[in-house]
Amino acid sequence: MLVGSQRVSSKTSPDDDARLLRAWHDGDKRAGQTLIRRYHEPVARFFRTKAYHHTDDLVQRTWLSLAESHGRFSGEASVRAFLFGIARNVLFEFYRSQKKHGAAPDFAVQSLVDLAPGVSTQAAARSEMRVLLQALQRIPADLQSLLELHYWEGLSVEELGAVFHVSAGTIKSRMHRARGLLKDEMARVPAADELRASTQTLYANWIGIAAGRSDAR
């Protein structure tokens, strides 16, 4: 599978998502199933790049948490931002449970390589994507998530602010830092010159796709 190759349709309405979530919380199981079908793949993709072998379990935990979130969704942010905020918390709890001793993991500082040496790159089918994913997994986990959610899932600066509980200005600053760190790590990933060049092209295209949206630049 190609990470980030499919995005939720731009025709999806945030108001419709909010209506479905409210209906689900009021007992309409069909509304919940519609939301799950709509966002199952993006949520699974979020976990595949960070805890590949535990994806199914973490996805289930995320949907269970959303189903039990009655009263916590204010409607100020989109449902998908709220959902990815839950997914981020689920991921944090997973890695905290894996750490038997010492301080809790710090996603702002530690990368997936720090948290899980030998972390899988099976989420990427193409060689270029594997190089890119290796580089992503070497930057702080929150910055990895920030880039993936913006460029692969199309979350806006405002939505990212809701996911990470920071201001839009902070998101823009972190995005700038994340891109710089990723570029540095891409240069360090072992790869043949031809593969490195094609990965750089893929990266440039990846950035370019967002040019038509409200980019975090």
CATH number for position 64: 1.10.1740.10
Give the pLDDT score at 156. 94
pTM, to two decimals: 0.86
Q: Which amino acid appears at position 25 of this protein?
A: H
Residue with tokens 């079908």: 37
140 phi/psi in degrees, rounded to 5: -50, 140
Please answer whether residues 189 and 197 qualify as being in contact, where contact means their C-beta atoms are separated by less than 8 angstroms.
no
Return the bridge partners of 159, or none.
none
Domain count, the chain: 1
Give the pLDDT score at 125. 58
Nearest by Cα to 177 from 143, 211, 149 = 143
Kindly state the greatest CA–CA separation across the chain.
56
Q: Is residue 173 part of a domain?
A: yes
Per-residue pLDDT of the chain (217 residues; tens, 9 = 90+): 445 444 544 456 889 999 999 999 999 999 999 999 999 999 999 999 999 899 999 999 999 999 999 889 988 899 999 999 999 999 999 999 887 766 788 999 999 988 887 776 665 656 777 888 889 999 999 999 999 999 989 999 999 999 999 999 999 999 999 999 999 998 888 877 888 778 777 777 777 766 555 555 4
Q: Is residue 94 part of a domain?
A: yes
What's the rounded Cα separation, in Å, for the pair 172 and 174? 5
Which residues constitute the domain of residue 172? 14-212
What's the rounded Cα separation, in Å, for the pair 187 and 135? 8
Q: Is residue 62 part of a domain?
A: yes
